[in-house]
Chain A
Amino acid sequence: MQDSTNLPSSLDPSAAARQLIQQAHNQDGLPEIAIGLTFLLVSGLIGAQTVLPKGSFAAKAVIVTFAFLLPVLGFCTPSAIRWVRNRFLLARVGYVQPKPAGRQQIALGFALALLVTAALFGVVTGALRPDAWLIAGTGVLGGALAAFSGRLPRFVIYGVVMAAVGIAIALASVPIETGFTIYFGLTGLMVLVSGCVVLLKLIRQPLEAGD
């Protein structure tokens, strides 16, 4: 099982299985709802930071919330999604227990969460002053990630929209805080609404006869 890279993906059962698992993971819209809510939260926090007077208690509270809430959300969201599925959607999407994450995966996830938080934290506090390419880059990279990892056609649409929004905001030459507020707000809303529609459609489907 370790040397899966030596087989073409069309012949590699492990690669095919990962694709099927990813498709199954995204079929109920819950991951999109979680991502949408997180994006809206990020948008709200960045937006609040631009509106609130610098150095005020509220502005500091926003920064602290930003620093602590995002990593916590990153770690808790997969468990929360699993809990909701097992509690409310078991009969529709079934039950699956993933393999426990290895040390390498945990370390990678932690490093990525830290990097993203640090970058966003830098933008919010004004310590980081990147040019507009950062918004365009976030859009293109985020879009590519969504399109590649989603394994479903609607994720390709998200990817295209995310990249287009990122590039459009970069071309509009708005301040970076405003740009990120708009970017996360728009894409978060799109993903949240789409996830809710998918979930509602799933819930409204009649249950099949048992096995």
Chain B
Amino acid sequence: MTARIQRLADLDRTIHEPARLMVVALLAAVQEADFQYLHQATGLTKGNLSVHLSRLEEAGYIEIEKSFRGKYPLTICRLTDLGQGALATYRKVMKAAM
């Protein structure tokens, strides 16, 4: 039991933060989504979301692509394979501990 609980110390803190976990879980459930969609779905402020996306991009968990659709700027986010793996590991550790 103790060993299982101690595994929580191995949790990936980049993903463990609730807002980032929400973003990563959302991106895992879709192929890609833009900033506005993530803003609407998560309820995070734009500034907050922007900071979390930068952290995830720095960690290599998501990739961000900026483009335009007509005059509308699109900031498209996708979960990378590394991000998929990190989320799967996070879930495994949580499941083992709980």
Contact status of A24 and B29, CB under 8 A, knowing A16-B22, A95-B69, A210-B73: no
Contact between B37 and A95 (Cβ–Cβ < 8 Å)?
Answer: yes
- Pair count A-B, CB < 8 A: 101
Also in contact, A14 and B28, with CB within 8 A (given A7-B95, A7-B98, A20-B42): yes
Please, how many angstroms separate the alpha-carbon atoms of A17 and B23 in the complex?
8
CB of A104 within 8 Å of the partner chain: no
Q: Chain A interface: which size bin?
A: 20 to 34
Are A13 and B25 closer than 8 Å at their CB atoms?
A: yes
Residues of A near B87 (CB, < 8 A) are 1, 13
User: Does B29 contact A94, Cβ atoms closer than 8 Å?
Assistant: no
Segment of A35-43, A53-61, A85-93, A185-193 engaged in the interface with chain B: A85-93
CB within 8 Å of A: which B34-72 residues = 34-42, 46, 50, 69, 72
**Judging by beta carbons under 8 Å apart, are A6 and B95 in contact?**
yes
A105 on interface, CB distance cutoff 8 Å: no
Q: Is the CB of A11 within 8 A of B98?
A: yes
Interface residues of A in 1-27 (CB under 8 A from B): 1, 3-4, 6-8, 11-14, 16-18, 20-21, 23-24, 27
| Residue from A4, A99, A211 with most neighbouring chain B CB atoms (10 Å) | A211
Do the beta carbons of A24 and B37 come within 8 Å of each other? yes
A3 to B95, CA, bound (A): 10
A18 CB, nearest partner CB in chain B, Å: 6
- Nearest CB to that of B69 among chain A residues? A90
Q: Evaluate contact between A211 and B46: CB separation under 8 angstroms.
A: yes
- What residues of A have a CB within 8 angstroms of the CB of B33 in the complex? 94-97
Find out whether the CB atom of B31 lies under 8 angstroms from the CB atom of A98. Answer: yes
Count of chain B residues with a beta carbon within 8 Å of a chain A beta carbon: 36
> What residue of chain A has the Cβ atom nearest to residue B73's Cβ?
A210
Structural contact, B34 and A95, CB atoms closer than 8 A: yes
A211→B75 contact, CB < 8 A: yes
State whether A17 touches B50 (Cβ < 8 A).
no
B63 CB to nearest chain A CB (Å): 14
Looking at A3, A4, A90, the one whose CB has the most chain B CB atoms below 10 A away is A90
A100 interfacial contact with B, CB 8 Å = yes
Q: Is B81 an interface residue (CB 8 A)?
A: no
B contact residues around A18 at 8 Å (CB): 29
Query: Which residues from B are CB-within-8-Å of A211?
Result: 35-36, 39, 46, 50, 73, 75
Which residues of chain B have C-beta atoms less than 8 A from A6's C-beta? Answer: 95
A17 adjacent to B22 (CB under 8 Å): yes
For window 163-211 of A, CB contacts with B under 8 Å fall at 208-211
Bound complex: CA of A12 vs CA of B25, how far in Å? 9
Q: CA separation between A3 and B30, bound complex, in Å?
A: 17
Q: Min CB distance, B9 to chain A, in Å?
A: 18
Is B28 a contact partner of A17 (Cβ separation < 8 A)? yes
A-side residues, CB < 8 A to B, are: 1, 3-4, 6-8, 11-14, 16-18, 20-21, 23-24, 27, 86, 90-100, 208-211
